[in-house]
Structure 1
Amino acid sequence: MKYFEAVILAIIEGLTEFLPVSSTGHMIIGSSFMGIASDPFVKLFTVAIQLGAILSVVVLYFKRFFKSINFYIKLIVAFIPAAIFGLLLSKKIDELLESPMAVGISLLVGGIILLFVDKWFNKPTINEEEDVTYLTALKIGFFQCIAMIPGVSRSGATIVGGMSQKLSRKVAAEFSFFLAVPTMFAATGKKLLDFYQDPKNIITQKEINLLLIGNVVAFIVALLAIKSFIGYLNKHGFKMFGWYRIVAGLIIIILLMTGHNLQII
């Protein structure tokens, strides 16, 4: 992996991690276009730079993380389904992560859903995070499990899940951001552990530098993306993201069906 490739992937991560467009799907496609997707370090890199994105949430919502113990209990409750299904289905998830076609189909289907979300869930009754119950948090956690399919979008699934439970768009989006912290931290930790347990994987000083650069870039870009997303979402809803996903998904599917090699080998 070259430095400019690391920066490009980090920008993709920062831009897409908290938007309902699938950061994993975009990085799979991005690394495939650059011809580096099969590199074990690249697979580690695309997960590890999520730490930078996580930090942006903590910085932006610093006070919220020190407000009450109930806040943490809700996050733990919401995280439990992903932790269980992630461990049970880890091999299947890894197989799907190597399929650009799965990404294309997920982007397309998810885009169609986002076109109608604002009409389906237009009568929220929960306008503050403090009003989210433990049961509601658990239900949102099950929605997060859907995002184990690459291209679905973790943020998209959890925001829609929150709105289905009567959360306002803003509260649903913010709860999705908060839930990303334990979820992405656990995913990164597992990926790092798997990488180091393989004796064939030896990390070099250059790769350490790449990880540092990637996390810094992802942090800065995610910081800007979150602030912009909340404002846009409150005013305009999900339609633009739905159309974007549909176009992106169709392009990927058409390229693959016409013989263009995006498949990870």
Structure 2
Amino acid sequence: MDLLLLLKAAIMGIVEGVTEFLPISSTGHLILASELMNFWTKEKSDLFVVAIQMGAIAAVIYEYWSKLWGAATGLFSGEPKGRHLGVSLILASIPIVLVGLTFGEKVKELLFNDVTVAIGLIIGGIIIWWVEKHPPKVNAEEVENISLKEAIYIGLIQVLSLIPGTSRSGATIIGAMCLGVSRKAATEFSFFLGIPVIIGAGLLDLAKSYHVYQTGEDWTVFFVGLIVSFVSALILIRVLVAYVAKRDFMVFAWYRIVSGLIILLFALTGWKLW
């Protein structure tokens, strides 16, 4: 067993768990971390980057089980709040499912690189900065207050997250805030919206490419990353919910802009960190 490879998988799991729900692009950070650590072969690493996100989303299901169960059963029992949240999540998930199934492979082929990540980080950072400087009027304080029309718009905005560096969390949270959703409700809705998208993408990629993991060691490396991403994401979720109750996302805007510029500089000059 290659202990260094397991350590790299654990680090990738931490990167995923910490970045998945922050507006800074988990996929972008995983791509960069993979390149910096020379993590695995490209084929195995690309599958790892997508599939490991299921560990982070499992943390959402664990943390919000009661509310999510209410949304699922509300679709059939008719409980108003649960039904409304369930329908909202379904409507918001449709656009990215359709676009992802149609263009997902082409996006990976063309845009999974550090230059795209850098540009996505910078543009997203500027948008977050502008929204925080010009906060819209809040009309939906809780996640159950998000209207079906707003849910559809948030779902359309989420399609942008197929571009590495954009950030699914960043697109959905900031997009929801622009529509008048409170920061807390936007963050929770983004958590929930990731469940069908990330689990669907992860399972689809595993079904298509599971053969690239040919040995027990390959699968051990994968599950180490998955478990570590679950634990680190669970911690991050609790910290982030407490954070957004008192603070804005301006620090993430500057982080995106500065890190994007640094990545772009290294990418365009060919410089190496080591």
Normalised by the length of structure 2, the TM-score is: 0.90
Provide Cα deviations, 1:164-222, integer angstroms capped at 9, x if missing partner. 221100000000000000110111011112204xx6x3531111111221111101110
Alignment of 1:124-139 (within 5 A): 124-139=138-153
The equivalent of 1:171 in structure 2 is: 185
Task: Map 1:22-101; keep pairs closer than 5 Å.
Answer: 22-36=25-39, 38-67=41-70, 68-69=74-75, 70=83, 71-101=85-115
Q: Distance in 1 between matches of 2:253 and 2:65?
A: 30
The unaligned stretches of length 5 or more in structure 2 are 76-82
Compute the displacement of 1:121 (Å).
3.0
Unaligned runs of 5+ in 1: none
* Partner AA of 1:121 in structure 2: P
Larger mean CA deviation between 246-255 and 29-38 belongs to: 29-38
Task: Check conservation: 2:93, 2:197, Cα contact below 8 A.
Answer: yes
Maintained 8 Å contact 2:104/2:162: no
1:252 aligned to 236, 248, 263, which one?
Answer: 263
CA shift, 1:234, in A, is 2.5
Assess if the C-alpha contact under 8 Å between 1:78 and 1:141 holds in 2.
yes
CA distance in 2, matches of 1:100, 1:77: 32
Cα drift, residue 65 of structure 1 = 1.0
- Matched residues in 2 for 1:195 and 1:221: separation? 26
Contact 1:14–1:217 (Cα < 8 Å) also in 2: yes
Q: Does 1:220 align with 2:213?
A: no
Q: Please give the alpha-carbon distance, in whole angstroms, between the structure 2 residues aligned to 1:124 and 1:73.
A: 22
Of Structure 1 and Structure 2, the greater helix share is in: 2
Measured in 1, the distance between the counterparts of 2:115 and 2:41 equals: 16
Partner residue in 1 for 2:79: none
Cα distance change on mapping 1:49 and 1:93 into 2, 3 Å: same
Q: Distance in 1 between matches of 2:66 and 2:233?
A: 18
Deviation (angstroms), 1:37: 6.5
Identity in percent: 41
Aligned length: 259
Match of 1:240 in 2: 251
CA-based RMSD of the aligned residues comes to: 1.7
